């Protein structure tokens, strides 16, 4: 479309999605299903955003997420796209997790018996954990993860379990991360009854009574599983882009947006030439800092709130090694590391143990994570220093002798959004501002309400439903 774009002769409502990550593509796919003429604009030469999968030296490597857990919206999307036969699952009960402590990998306890037997907690730490159901003080409106966990289950649980989880999965700092933003359901349990356990019991009891009252049958629950695809997670956004066809435009940088006469005009540069995409609705599915830049002129209050969202620096090291070079053979999901230990890594995924065909025969693929909010300077080290850290860490934890057939180091300066204290206030600020704009505009992405792939798919689909309804209600 040129600066003098023609009118929409087929009378279908138009929407533009800026950003072809999983959130934007899922939203666009569902908008098209609802009869909306949707266009997706992506500055990069490829779709997928943070999701990248590629093969190097016989290893299948992932940048960004490595797996995701099974959720209804994602299952529906895979079925609708017809790629179920490419879908891989690995039951979580078959993938034990470990914590590195004092030179050993200790299995994470999964039940009361294992919890009582674990060496990761002292006797007093276990007693402190068992006191949680008797807590009656409700938490304040907002609290850090560290403060919340310490008050409910004690410092030992924070240090040995929750801290490593927050650092390894979110690359965050439990002292700065907002508990209601990162773990809203658990926080709501405590807000209900003071205790997480008693709040959870009350919540599920209410759901059961409601189900019995309405006569709805109990949903059949599938066992929890880790999921991916034969050629990596990138298969999902790539298949979405194929389904959307010519509606996806890569290599187009949005210069500015403007609202005029109740619709949006999205100005882009296409190989240096100015192009305008008009739309009745606009969805911004970029990282928060890019969204802030786009909204600076049309919604400065929202832009300011978005600019305050912090991102964590992460370094990913993919190590391919012969199994014979490892004293501890990868069997399970991997391990996390409490801070202030002799191992500097945030955690290590045993990628080739989770799914088949991730490494050559008799070899292992280890994905090692460094940096995050608790060690932000680590990604600044040069490759030679990183190699020394890898040898030290994997030798201490897995008995690695240093033999390798692959080493790839990738630095991600803005890897993940940090749900720091005040995050929900910031979300309220930009959502309240965008609701008052002269034409429908929505923000989606992993910086709002969940960083996982299923969270992004779910929010993208919810956005599509809301936008379609708004457009249907317009004259």
User: Which residues of the chain are modeled with pLDDT < 70?
Assistant: 1-11, 218-219, 475
Ramachandran sector of residue 403 (left: φ over 0; alpha: ψ -120 to 50; beta: rest): beta
**What is the rounded CA–CA span in Å between residue 179 and residue 188?**
10
The model's pTM? 0.92
Cβ–Cβ < 8 Å for 180, 143: yes
CA torsion through residues 287, 288, 292, 295, sign: positive
Q: What is the 3-state secondary structure of 154-190? A: CHHHHHHHHHHHHHHHCCCCCCCEEHHHHCHHHHHHH
DSSP for 319-364 reads EEEEGGG-SS---SSEEE--SSSS---SEEEEHHHHSSSSS-TTEE
**What is the rounded CA–CA span in Å between residue 358 and residue 88?**
12
Topology given in CATH for the domain delimited by 14-51+230-309+420-473: FAD/NAD(P)-binding domain (3.50.50)
Task: Quote the radius of gyration of the chain (alpha carbons, Å).
Answer: 24
The CATH number corresponding to 123-214 among 1.20.140.10, 1.10.3110.10, 3.20.20.70, 3.30.70.260 equals 1.10.3110.10
Cβ–Cβ < 8 Å for 235, 245: no
DSSP for 398-434 reads H---S--SEEEEEEEEEEEEE-BTTHHHHHHHHHHHH
- Rounded to whole angstroms, what are the CA distances from 265 to 56, 148, 277, 302? 42, 45, 6, 19
3-state helix, strand, coil in the chain (%, to 5): 40, 25, 35
Displacement of CA 71 from its chain's centroid (Å):
13
Residue limits of CATH 3.50.50.60 in the chain: 14-51+230-309+420-473
Task: Please state the φ and ψ torsions of residue 256, each to the nearest 5 degrees.
Answer: -165, 165
Chain mean pLDDT for the chain: 93
Residue limits of CATH 1.10.3110.10 in the chain: 123-214
Beta-carbon contacts of residue 11 (< 8 Å; ≥ 6 apart): none
Task: Identify the H or E element spanning 264.
Answer: strand 263-270
- Kindly report, residue by residue over 203-256, the tens digit of the pLDDT: 999 888 888 888 777 667 778 899 999 999 999 999 999 999 999 999 999 999
End-to-end CA distance of the chain: 24
**What is the rounded CA–CA span in Å between residue 379 and residue 184?**
30
Please give the pLDDT value at position 421. Answer: 97
Please give the pLDDT value at position 1. Answer: 47
Task: Decide: helix, strand or coil at residue 196.
Answer: helix
Please give the pLDDT value at position 473. Answer: 83
Task: Identify the H or E element spanning 464.
Answer: helix 453-473
DSSP 108: P
Exposed / middle / buried, residue 325 (Cβ in 10 Å: 0-12, 13-18, 19+): middle
Please give the pLDDT value at position 223. Answer: 83
DSSP for 367-408 reads EEEEESTTSTTGGGS-HHHHHHHHHHHHHHHH---S--SEEE
Please give the pLDDT value at position 475. Answer: 66
Q: Could you give the angle at which helices 72-81 and 453-473 cross, rounded to 10 degrees?
A: 80
**What is the rounded CA–CA span in Å between residue 81 and residue 119?**
46
Task: Decide: helix, strand or coil at residue 61.
Answer: strand
- Rounded to whole angstroms, what are the CA distances from 59 to 138, 225, 235, 264? 49, 23, 16, 45
């Amino acid at each position: 479309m040129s600066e003098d774009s023609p009118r929409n002769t087929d009378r279908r409502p138009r929407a533009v999605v800026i950003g072809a990550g999983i959130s934007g593509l899922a939203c666009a796919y569902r908008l098209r299903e609802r009869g909306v003429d949707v266009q997706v604009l992506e500055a990069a030469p490829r779709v997928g955003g943070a999701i990248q999968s590629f093969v190097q030296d016989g290893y299948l490597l992932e940048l960004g997420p490595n797996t995701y857990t099974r959720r209804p919206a994602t299952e529906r999307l895979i079925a609708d796209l017809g790629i179920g036969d490419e879908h891989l699952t690995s039951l979580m009960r078959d993938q034990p997790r470990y914590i590195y402590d004092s030179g050993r990998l200790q299995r994470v306890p999964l039940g009361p018996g294992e919890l009582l037997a674990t060496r990761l907690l002292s006797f007093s730490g276990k007693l402190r954990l068992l006191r949680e159901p008797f807590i009656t003080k409700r938490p304040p409106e907002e609290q850090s993860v560290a403060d919340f966990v310490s008050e409910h289950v004690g410092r030992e649980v924070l240090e040995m379990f929750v801290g490593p989880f927050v650092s390894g999965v979110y690359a965050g700092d439990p002292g700065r991360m907002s508990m209601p933003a990162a773990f809203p359901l658990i926080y709501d349990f405590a807000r209900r009854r003071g205790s997480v356990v008693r709040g959870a019991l009350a919540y599920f009891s209410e759901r059961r009574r409601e189900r019995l009252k309405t006569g709805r049958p109990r949903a059949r629950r599938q066992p929890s599983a880790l999921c991916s695809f034969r050629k990596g997670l990138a298969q999902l956004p790539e298949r979405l882009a194929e389904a959307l066809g010519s509606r996806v435009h890569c290599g187009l940088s949005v210069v500015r947006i403007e609202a005029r006469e109740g619709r949006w005009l999205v100005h882009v540069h296409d190989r240096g030439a100015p192009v305008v995409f008009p739309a009745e609705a606009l969805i911004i599915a970029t990282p928060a800092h890019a969204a802030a830049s786009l909204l600076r002129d049309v919604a400065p209050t929202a832009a300011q709130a978005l600019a305050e969202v912090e991102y964590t620096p992460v370094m990913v090291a993919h190590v391919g090694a012969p199994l014979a070079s490892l004293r501890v053979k990868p069997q399970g999901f991997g391990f996390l590391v409490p801070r202030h230990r002799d191992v500097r890594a945030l955690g290590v995924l045993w990628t080739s143990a989770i799914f088949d065909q991730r490494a050559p025969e008799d070899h292992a693929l280890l994905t090692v994570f460094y940096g995050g909010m608790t060690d932000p300077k680590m990604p600044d080290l040069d490759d030679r220093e990183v190699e020394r850290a890898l040898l030290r860490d994997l030798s201490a934890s897995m008995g690695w002798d240093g033999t390798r057939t692959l080493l790839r180091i990738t630095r991600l300066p803005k890897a993940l959004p940090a749900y720091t204290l005040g995050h929900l206030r910031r979300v309220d600020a930009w959502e309240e501002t965008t609701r008052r704009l002269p034409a429908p505009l929505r923000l989606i992405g992993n910086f709002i309400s969940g960083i996982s792939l299923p969270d992004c798919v779910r929010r993208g689909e919810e956005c599509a439903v809301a936008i379609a309804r708004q457009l249907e209600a317009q004259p």
